Amino acid sequence: MKKIIYILTVAIMLTGCEDLLDSTNYTESNTGNFPNGVKDAEMLVTATYSTLNKATGATGSSYFFVSELAADDRMGGGSEDDKGPLGIAHLLKADDSQFNDFWVIRYMGIARANDAIQALSSLELEDTSARDQLLGESLFLRAFFYSELVEMFGGVPIIITPGQEFNIPRASADEVYAQITEDLKEAIGIMSSTKKYNEFESGRITRWAAQALMARNFLFYTGFYGKDELPLAGGRNVTKTEVVSWLEDCRDNSGHGLVGDFRNLWTYTNEHTKDDYPYTKDVVGIDGAPLAWVGNENKETIFSVKYANYSGWDAYQIGYTNQYILCFGMRGDVGKNGKEDTFPFGQGWGLGPISSTIWDDWNINEPDDLRRRASILNIADATEGVNYVYEGTAQMEECGYWNKKMSPISSKDAVEKYDWPNTFWMVYPEYDVSTVGEHMQGAHFQDLIVIRFADVLLMHSELTGTADGMNQVRARAGLTAKGYTLESLQRERRYELCFEGRRWADIRRWHIAEEALAKKNGITVRNKGEYKQINNGGYVERYKATNGFWPLPKTQIDLSNGILQQNTGWTGSDANYTGWNFN
């Protein structure tokens, strides 16, 4: 009988799951005796969750990373040797199998979800609520994995049962979305409709998350492909009316809501940093209270990837620390732009510098919007208190702007106490020492927020053509109400959700990608301290050639013996990034 083998490391992060780490020899379990109850089933589901972290370890090929660098609000950055990120920013590839790690990890997650779904579906229990919750989580995860794959690559092979033949042709995008919709609809139907978000264990997927993900997929599919409904099997569909109803259920019954001040969502307002940072010192928020980071467990987060102090140096374990924060941190060089110079923002790889276009557009459209300075560090702003220099550094494509939302954060308290700058030591006092030592690469535990409540409100406004949700988001930013227009909604999404992985999908589904990307031509950047103007970035031409899809890994095409076919726009030499030559 085929064995079910799951190797679970200490990197199980869901609260309450520690009791799964016992001495039972699960490698001897098989389909005849496993799972034998809710605890066994929970182990299967936890193994599926763990692939979320594995994808973080494959940062440079992941959906979130690609969605950030490809859009109009970021540049490539890094050093001139960072050909992968620089290529992504110009819709080029640096390697024929550049996205193989992400492809493999997402199908690993799908395989684990398939095992869990099959096992849970046949598990007989007197109280089915616990089983249904775990089954709903597994269905959500499978849908989530497929939704990232289909947005990145278009149609992909659909594998939904354990032992299914895996070397099969790509399904159409319609077929993939039908599978996503089936999974999410079932998940919504079986997970608890009465429990508030804070009644679940930390990090658990809920009915509310499934409703929000359904709306996200509805908006992308109907917008990008010009459809009216989401497909289901057998010619059935999910309508806009149903999606709006689910969003209203999430809005009204989940317990989720907006936190009091937008700035409190981001780590730089933590108690050990804010009083030493001029931007946050003694500032009273929109809600009338002093700024204070709400932490990873807060009412606005609907679905996130969790991190904890379980990381290591191998490709698997490094994903248990938030590598996106490391990637998007400012690049330091010897004697320049160190932690003392850029406080409270720590160092990283310098990837994804912020484009000057979003700063300038924002200043024109909403000059009084507090979210601009809350989200973007302008190094020329003396009131920020940073001492940043361009000259003599290896940084590429920098415009003088860096993101604040997902950046390493320093703490002077931590420097004085531990001679180490990361807030990890102060914000997470339960950890006395990092599993990778006192090293910046392994000390980032801020959640990767995938869906938050503000997005639910904005999606509801977009689907209904009403301004209520949009204006709730604006009010939290200290802005006056506006009447609904699609243009206003588009701007609101750009400014509220910037640097959270949504812009690329949004400009694609609104069919404004070419217009938005064209604005990157003409931008002045600094490459290794020298001024360069991007006059021939190739953005529009490459988008027209690819429609925003990325190349299937050549490794997978070769393994399939030609059953998998490459995407349009990725077979010629003009798709290759060979060096920076865009001026």
Taking only the tens place, the pLDDT of each residue in 37-56 is 888 889 999 999 999 999 99
Give a yes or no: residue 293 inside a domain.
yes
pLDDT in tens, 484-531: 999 999 999 999 999 999 999 999 999 999 999 999 999 999 999 999
Where does the pLDDT of residue 429 fall: very low under 50, low under 70, confident under 90, or very high at 90 and above?
low
Per-residue pLDDT tens over the stretch 560-579: 999 999 999 999 999 999 99
Residue 410 is predicted with a pLDDT of 85
Rounded mean pLDDT of 451-470? 99
Question: Of residues 65 and 341, which shows the higher confidence score?
Answer: 65
Secondary structure class of 453 (helix, strand, coil) = helix
Q: What is the per-residue pLDDT for 473?
A: 99
Q: Does 32 or 526 have the greater pLDDT score?
A: 526
Between 131 and 442, residue with greater pLDDT:
131
Q: Which residues contact 192 (CB under 8 A, 6 or more apart)?
A: 129, 133, 206, 207
Give me the pLDDT at residue 282, please.
Answer: 98
Query: 413-422, 423-432, 523-532 — which is least confidently predicted?
Result: 423-432
pLDDT of residue 179: 98
pLDDT at 12 over 90: no
Does the pLDDT value for residue 425 go beyond 60?
no
Quickly tell me which residue has 């998007």 as its tokens: 328
pLDDT at site 311 = 64
pLDDT above 90 for 73: yes
Span 410-417, mean pLDDT? 73
Q: What is the pLDDT of residue 442?
A: 75
User: What pLDDT shows up at residue 432?
Assistant: 53
CA distance 16 to 43: 12
Number of domains the chain is built from: 1
The pLDDT assigned to 369 comes to 98
> Would you state the pLDDT for residue 80?
96
Given pLDDT bands bounded at 50, 70 and 90, which one contains residue 430? low
**What share of the chain in percent tops pLDDT 90?**
77
In this predicted structure, what is the pLDDT of residue 479?
Answer: 98
Distance CA 405, CA 263 (A): 9
Residue 503 lies in a domain: yes
Q: Per-residue pLDDT averaged across 68-72, rounded? A: 99
**Span 13-33, mean pLDDT?**
42
Which of 94-103, 225-234, 414-423, 568-577 is the least confident region?
414-423
**Would residue 91 count as lying in a domain?**
no
Q: What is the pTM of this model?
A: 0.93
How many Å apart are CA 446 and CA 579, to the nearest integer?
33
Q: Give the whole-angstrom CA distance, residue 62 versus residue 448.
A: 13
Contact 420, 406 (CB under 8 A): no
Residue 17 confidence (pLDDT) = 35
* Between 13 and 448, the higher pLDDT residue: 448
Confidence (pLDDT) at 52 = 97
Instruction: Provide, rounded to the nearest whole percent, the portion of the chain with pLDDT above 70.
Output: 89
pLDDT band at 11 (very low <50, low <70, confident <90, very high): very low
- The reply to whether 468 falls in a domain is yes
If one compares 279 and 434, the residue with the highest pLDDT of the two is 279
pLDDT of residue 206: 98
Q: Is pLDDT at 388 greater than 90 in this prediction? A: yes
Residue 123 has pLDDT above 90, yes or no: no
Task: Let me know if residue 264 belongs to a domain.
Answer: no
Mean pLDDT of 203-212: 97
Beta strands in 178-291 (DSSP E): 230-231, 237-238
**Of 385, 352, 365, 368, nearest to 525 (Cα)?**
352
pLDDT at 343 exceeding the cut of 70:
yes
Is the pLDDT at 28 greater than 60, yes or no?
A: no
- Which of 385, 387, 366, 376 has the alpha carbon at shortest distance from 279? 385
| 568 against 316, higher pLDDT | 568
Q: In whole angstroms, what is the distance from residue 406 CA to residue 352 CA?
A: 11
What's the pLDDT at 23?
Answer: 30
Range of the domain at 278: 270-519
Q: Which residue has the tokens 């217009």?
A: 515
State mean pLDDT over 257-268: 98
The answer to the question of residue 101 being in a domain is no
Lowest-confidence segment of 20-24, 103-107, 231-235, 437-441 by average pLDDT: 20-24
Place of tokens 């000390």: 443
Residue at 407 is within a domain: yes
Show the CA angle centred on residue 63, arms to residues 10 and 491, nearest 5°.
Answer: 125
- Asked if residue 6 has pLDDT above 60, the reply is no
For the cut 50, the answer to whether the pLDDT of residue 9 exceeds it is no
Q: At residue 21, does pLDDT exceed 60?
A: no
Torsion of CA 52, 209, 352, 104, to 10 degrees: 30
Q: Which two tokens stand for residue 127?
A: 């109280």
Spatial distance between the Cα atoms of 46 and 7, rounded to a whole number of angstroms: 11
